[in-house]
């Protein structure tokens, strides 16, 4: 079957130009090249995809270097894996040498050896991701579909290629659910049975790989659908994310999309996802998924702030008290609490901090205060704190008022 017309119809002009160039260079090097994976699936579905995955039956690095010479684009080469990555604006191109994989033990990263395109397709996760389109001139557009992926696409099915698939690599469990929910497909019954059987195999997957898959899930358009399904299947529990009621996130994720326009939406989703966990549960989850650094701090702060909400529920609380409770807390953790907290007063106080209080500063500097005859040292710091407090609480606003307050504090000088 030839689907050249579909490629021309659904890929961008930029992608097509790059593909033509690769095809020419590969032919001149005597290599056979194929478009593989997600871009083939999406082209057949008529969806746009700017991630071109190209496999060569030949040395992909040599090909990448040749493309770099012709275009001036700089490839990132990974000699160990025989792969190269080239980016051009929105477009990203991955070049790899066709290979087969063997798993020395479940969950381990596979050993890889160069092989044919057929072997390369057989190592893939699902039939709909195991198709290739040949790109060399004479055969341009020929579809290779040894696992009947096109038929599964037509029947909206996610199907693994062999019964050991989830045992070999249990991250495919998360991937299966991700594609099922993204594409509105169904996991084919035998695959669903094996998926359920192999959920304990998630224990063989490293924290880094699990974290990567979970963050990919949170980059989807409607991650709550995927999370809901993972919860039903018992996957969340298995990866140390004991969330009993995933329905609650339908609402919070929806609000997050409306209020957060930054690139940090996946992290905000994660804060909302762990919101109901205790500190101990969060620590266990972070340990399992090797979540560290800034992300771990944000998640911990989310729970810390949640535990402080009763303090912020006081209608008499002063702005300076709000300021000191929230000072230094990451905006994402505060935002997660605004979205998830059930009562109005704390949310309003959190929002006030985010929008205004965190930016408040006295107009007078330490140097200015010295002019009042106050020697440098702790007194300057104390005075600045008093100015800040008065300013936060709306007692003073102008520079003159600040000066007046300092003179009142130290009348004899």
Q: Which positions lie near ligand ATP, rule CB under 6 A?
A: 37-38, 51, 53, 124-125, 129, 169, 171-172
Min dist. Cβ of residue 158 to ligand ATP (A): 12
C-beta of 51 vs 401, nearer to ligand ATP: 51
C-beta of 43 vs 300, nearer to ligand ATP: 43
Min dist. Cβ of residue 178 to ligand ATP (A): 7
b vs e for 17-40, b when ≥16 Cβ sit within 10 Å of the residue's Cβ? ebbeebbbbbeeeebbbbbbbebb
Min dist. Cβ of residue 261 to ligand ATP (A): 23
Min dist. Cβ of residue 124 to ligand ATP (A): 4
C-beta of 265 vs 312, nearer to ligand ATP: 265
Q: Which residue in the shown chain puts its C-beta closest to ligand ATP?
A: 38
Min dist. Cβ of residue 132 to ligand ATP (A): 10
Min dist. Cβ of residue 255 to ligand ATP (A): 25
Contact 353, 309 (CB under 8 A): no
C-beta of 53 vs 402, nearer to ligand ATP: 53
C-beta of 37 vs 82, nearer to ligand ATP: 37
Provide CB contacts within 8 A for 368, sequence distance 6+.
none
User: φ and ψ at 260, to 5 degrees?
Assistant: -110, 110
SS3 content of the chain, % helix, strand, coil (to 5): 60, 10, 30
Q: How far is CA 278 from the centre of its chain?
A: 23
Contact 350, 312 (CB under 8 A): yes
Beta-strand runs (E) in 212-252 = none
Q: Are strands 157-158 and 132-134 parallel, antiparallel or unpaired?
A: unpaired
Distance CA 297, CA 169 (A): 30
C-beta of 37 vs 330, nearer to ligand ATP: 37
């Amino acid at each position: 079957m030839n689907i050249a017309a579909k490629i021309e119809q659904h890929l961008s002009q930029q992608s097509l130009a790059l593909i033509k160039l690769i095809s020419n260079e590969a032919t001149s090097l005597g290599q056979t090249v194929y478009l593989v994976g997600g871009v083939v699936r999406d082209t057949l579905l008529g969806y746009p995809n700017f991630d071109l995955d190209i496999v060569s039956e030949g040395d992909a690095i040599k090909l990448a270097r040749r493309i770099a010479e012709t275009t001036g684009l700089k490839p990132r080469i990974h000699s160990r894996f025989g792969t190269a990555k080239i980016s051009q604006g929105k477009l990203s191109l991955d070049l790899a040498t066709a290979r087969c994989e063997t798993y020395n033990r479940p969950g381990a990263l596979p050993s890889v050896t160069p092989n044919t395109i057929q072997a390369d397709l057989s190592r893939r996760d699902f039939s709909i991701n195991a198709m290739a389109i040949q790109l060399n001139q004479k055969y341009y557009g020929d579809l290779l579909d040894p696992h009947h992926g096109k038929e599964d696409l037509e029947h909206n099915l996610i199907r693994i290629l062999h019964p050991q698939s989830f045992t070999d690599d249990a991250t495919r469990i998360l991937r299966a659910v991700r594609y099922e929910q993204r594409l509105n497909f169904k996991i084919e019954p035998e695959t669903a049975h094996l998926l359920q059987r192999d959920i304990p195999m998630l224990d063989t997957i490293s924290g880094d790989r699990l974290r990567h898959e979970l963050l990919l899930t949170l980059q989807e358009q409607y991650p709550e659908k995927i999370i809901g399904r993972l919860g039903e299947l018992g996957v969340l529990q298995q990866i140390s994310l004991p969330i009993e009621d995933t329905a609650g996130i339908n609402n919070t994720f929806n609000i997050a999309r409306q209020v957060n326009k930054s690139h940090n939406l996946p992290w905000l989703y994660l804060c909302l996802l762990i919101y109901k966990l205790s500190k101990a549960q969060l620590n266990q989850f972070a340990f399992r998924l090797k979540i560290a650094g800034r992300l771990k701090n944000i998640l911990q702060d989310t729970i810390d702030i949640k535990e402080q909400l009763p303090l912020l529920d006081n209608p008499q609380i002063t702005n300076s008290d709000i300021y000191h409770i929230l000072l230094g807390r990451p905006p994402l953790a505060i935002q997660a609490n605004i979205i998830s907290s059930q009562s109005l007063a704390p949310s309003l106080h959190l929002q006030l901090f985010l929008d205004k209080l965190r930016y408040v500063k006295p107009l007078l500097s330490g140097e200015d205060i010295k002019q009042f005859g106050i020697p440098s040292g702790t007194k300057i710091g104390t005075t600045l704190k008093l100015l800040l407090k008065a300013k936060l609480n709306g007692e003073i606003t102008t520079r003159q008022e600040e000066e007046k307050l300092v003179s009142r504090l130290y009348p004899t000088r």
